[in-house]
């Protein structure tokens, strides 16, 4: 269960994947409480760091309690990325790992030749990894996809280049950029990457239950599990997977009371972190994830999506008990 990325020792190999608009500080802390072995920040633009963007500072805020933590950068200019990685790791000793996003499928990122667009340019990936890994004294990891599209499946080639140029670990999402999050994740590409490199490989895609995590490890031989959408509204997935991998026993899902208590805590933490106006609006999506599958939850979600104030939202959360 324990694993190492570079010189960073993880308590276990069950890891929260970076997700824009989801893995902010309050949510990372909730996942850490459930035993998560490593957390990643939302992706941060290297250019935005360079220009001292105010929102970017918030994205990179780290709490000692969530460590070890990886800050995920995105960009496509090797020198700028190396300089910004060096700057933030020197300014903030709480950063344990730098990760580079090479998998984001969003058009505005891809059209800027960043995120998963980098999969089309393995040579540039090599330059970025080399410059960044040389510039920092922390482990550097990258997160990639299977390839850009079905006619360009090159995860194995990219992984080898990353290892040769100093990457300490590699996360592989078993879908192409063109797939976004649709269809079934190809776990075989994760196995191929694992067979091709000696650095740790983190498998990503379609882990929604403890049994999925065990199958991913067995079928691919990967060293760790990155959990993205499976953790949305479900921080308990980490404690449940860890328990299952250690004992073979599947713990029950959280009770309704546990879900409501966590929603309330999440709201309070988010309000402290971003202010009540933003917290109310951001909690709407989280509550829809927390309540997914509960009987009668569609009605509550509709009502919550129109709430404007903290008081109103808290009232609606209480109503979840009676759905």
Domain boundaries, the chain: 3-247, 256-322
Mean pLDDT of the chain: 95
Residues in CB range of 314: below 8 A, 6 or more apart: 264, 267
**pLDDT for 126-167, tens place per residue?**
999 999 999 999 999 999 999 999 989 999 999 999 999 999
Q: Which CATH number fits domain 256-322: 1.10.1200.80, 3.40.50.720, 3.30.360.10, 1.10.260.40?
A: 1.10.1200.80
**Residue linked to tokens 């060293």:** 223
pLDDT at 1: 80
Q: What H or E segment, with its residue span, contains residue 45? A: strand 38-45
pLDDT at 28: 98
Q: Decide: helix, strand or coil at residue 12.
A: coil
Confidence of residue 199 (pLDDT cuts 50, 70, 90): very high
**pLDDT for 29-39, tens place per residue?**
999 999 999 99
Which spans in the chain are helix H? Answer: 25-33, 46-50, 54-59, 78-91, 107-110, 122-135, 155-164, 187-196, 210-220, 236-247, 256-274, 276-290, 297-304, 310-319
Q: Which of 172, 240, 174, 180 is nearest to 12 (CA)?
A: 240
pLDDT at 321: 79
**pLDDT for 29-83, tens place per residue?**
999 999 999 999 999 999 999 998 888 999 999 999 999 999 999 999 999 999 9
List binding-site positions: 18-20, 72, 143, 173, 228-229
pLDDT at 319: 84
List binding-site positions for FMN: 18-20, 72, 143, 173, 228-229
Confidence of residue 211 (pLDDT cuts 50, 70, 90): very high
Residue of 31, 36, 104, 222 with catalytic role: 104
Told to judge if 104 belongs to the known catalytic residues of this protein, a careful annotator would answer yes
Helix/strand/coil (H, E, C) string of 106-168? CHHHHCCCCHHHHHHCHHHHHHHHHHHHHHCCCCEEEEEEEECCCCCECHHHHHHHHHHCCCC
Q: Which fold has domain 3-247?
A: TIM Barrel (3.20.20)
pTM, full prediction: 0.95
């Amino acid at each position: 269960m324990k694993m190492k990325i570079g010189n960073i020792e993880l308590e276990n190999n069950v890891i929260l994947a970076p997700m824009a608009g989801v893995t902010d500080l309050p949510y990372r802390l909730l996942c850490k409480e459930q035993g998560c072995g490593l957390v990643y920040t939302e992706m941060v633009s290297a250019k935005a760091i360079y220009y001292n963007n105010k929102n970017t500072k918030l994205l990179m805020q780290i709490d000692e309690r969530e460590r070890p933590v990886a800050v995920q950068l995105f960009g496509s200019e090797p020198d700028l990325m190396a300089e910004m990685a060096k700057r933030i790791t020197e300014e903030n000793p709480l950063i344990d790992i730098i990760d580079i996003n090479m998998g984001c499928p969003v058009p505005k990122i891809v059209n800027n030749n960043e995120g998963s667009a980098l999969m089309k340019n393995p040579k540039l990936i090599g330059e970025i990894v080399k410059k960044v890994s040389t510039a920092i004294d922390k482990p550097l990891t990258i997160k990639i996809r299977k390839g850009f599209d079905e006619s360009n499946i090159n995860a194995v080639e990219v992984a080898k280049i990353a290892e040769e140029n100093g990457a300490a670990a590699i996360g592989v999402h078993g879908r192409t950029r063109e797939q976004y999050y649709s269809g079934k994740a190809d776990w075989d590409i994760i196995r191929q990457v694992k067979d091709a490199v000696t650095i740790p490989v983190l498998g990503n895609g379609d882990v929604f239950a403890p049994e999925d995590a065990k199958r991913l490890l067995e079928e691919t031989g990967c060293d760790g599990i990155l959990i993205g959408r499976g953790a949305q509204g479900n921080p308990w997935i980490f404690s449940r997977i860890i328990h299952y991998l250690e004992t073979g026993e599947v713990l029950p899902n959280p009770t309704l009371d546990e879900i409501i208590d966590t929603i309330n805590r999440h709201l309070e933490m988010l309000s402290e972190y971003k202010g009540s106006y933003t917290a109310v609006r951001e909690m709407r999506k989280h509550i829809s994830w927390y309540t997914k599958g509960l009987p009668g939850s569609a009605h509550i979600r509709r009502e919550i999506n129109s709430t404007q104030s903290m008081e109103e939202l808290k009232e609606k959360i209480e109503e979840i008990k009676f759905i």
